[in-house]
Amino acid sequence: MPTTWRDGHPGGHPGGHRDEHRGTGRARPGAASWLPRGHLEPRAWATVVVVTGVMILVALGAVQLKLGGDHDRLLARAHARMAVPAVPLPAAIDDPAAFDGRRVTVTGRLLNDRELYLVARSRYGNLGLEVVTPLVRDDGGGIVLINRGWVPTERRSPGTRARGQPPGIVTIAGVARLPPGRDWFQPDNRPAENAWYFLDLPAMARAAGIARPAPLLVEAGSAYNPGGLPVGGQSSLDLANDHLRYALLWFGLAAALVVVYTVAYWRRDPVGR
């Protein structure tokens, strides 16, 4: 077949060069490599839905970033407070928040016959509970609840660990804690069964026959108890900060939504356009 000549050049292009992009469906230089040459033809309702969804996902990611920063600041403050030497817990606690996370000591007599149990507590994969015992202070400071530590489920009965229930005056060294409140996934406490899933100091005090407990709980330190139980030192500051992971998840979902929207409404340009 004879060659068609236009404007004096083969193929209609000066110098015999042909247009490598015309009619080939390839993207123009500078276009996204994963998209063919074309343009968006979105629907109005889809645009509204996608823009709204992206805004919500980005906002959720921003919230997680803020929570992660708050978590780090609280953890830094907790480490700083734990580094301060222990002080006697005042008889009158006017500002409980000022002692939250502080190392303290408290002296008095344990009411071992009024134990309370924080249930569903694990240690190294072993299911058990934590023993909370009222302590009558010898300085006139009333009664404070002491989380003495962890015991396995089969040792719940005080008779199975009698050596760990000292009579007389004792001094407990530990960490003062404000009750953290109830997590959304925790079941209701069952006072009638002495089964407590979260700390509720007023309700626990009533169950133990105590009128006005201190507004703080003291978590006993890791000092050895006779017989090995309860196991103290359950306070932990090494709490994982998962907020950055969640932020990346929300931001990733926002980006994926934009990609799906673009692919769904991208239309190729006609050949030769």
Given a contact cutoff of 8 angstroms between Cβ atoms, the answer to whether 130 and 150 are in contact is: yes
Q: How many residues does the chain have?
A: 273
Q: 268 vs 151, which has greater pLDDT?
A: 151
When pLDDT is averaged across residues 167-186 and rounded to a whole number, the result is 88
CA 115 to CA 106: how far, in whole Å?
18
What pTM value is reported for the model? 0.63
Predicted local confidence at residue 30, as pLDDT: 47
Q: What is the pLDDT of residues 128-165, one digit of tens each?
A: 999 999 999 998 889 999 999 999 999 999 989 999 99
pLDDT at position 13 over 50:
no
SS (H, E, C) 27-52: CCCCCCCCCCCEEECCCHHHHHHHHH
When pLDDT is averaged across residues 73-88 and rounded to a whole number, the result is 73
Given a contact cutoff of 8 angstroms between Cβ atoms, the answer to whether 5 and 14 are in contact is: no
88-228: in CATH 2.60.120: no
Q: Model confidence at 14, in pLDDT bands (50, 70, 90)?
A: very low
The answer to whether the bond into 230 is cis (omega within 30° of 0) is yes
Q: Model confidence at 7, in pLDDT bands (50, 70, 90)?
A: very low
pLDDT at position 123 over 90:
no
Distance of CA 44 to the CA centre of its chain: 38
Q: What is the pLDDT of residues 195-234, one digit of tens each?
A: 999 999 999 999 999 988 999 999 999 889 988 999 988 7
Domain ranges within the chain, ordered by starting residue: 35-83+242-273, 88-228
Q: 241 vs 124, which has greater pLDDT?
A: 124
- Mean pLDDT check: name the lowest of 22-31, 36-45, 219-228: 22-31
pLDDT at position 83 over 80:
no
pLDDT at position 23 over 70:
no
Predicted local confidence at residue 81, as pLDDT: 67
Q: Nearest 5°: CA angle at 114, between 113 and 115?
A: 100
Predicted local confidence at residue 104, as pLDDT: 94
Given a contact cutoff of 8 angstroms between Cβ atoms, the answer to whether 219 and 177 are in contact is: yes
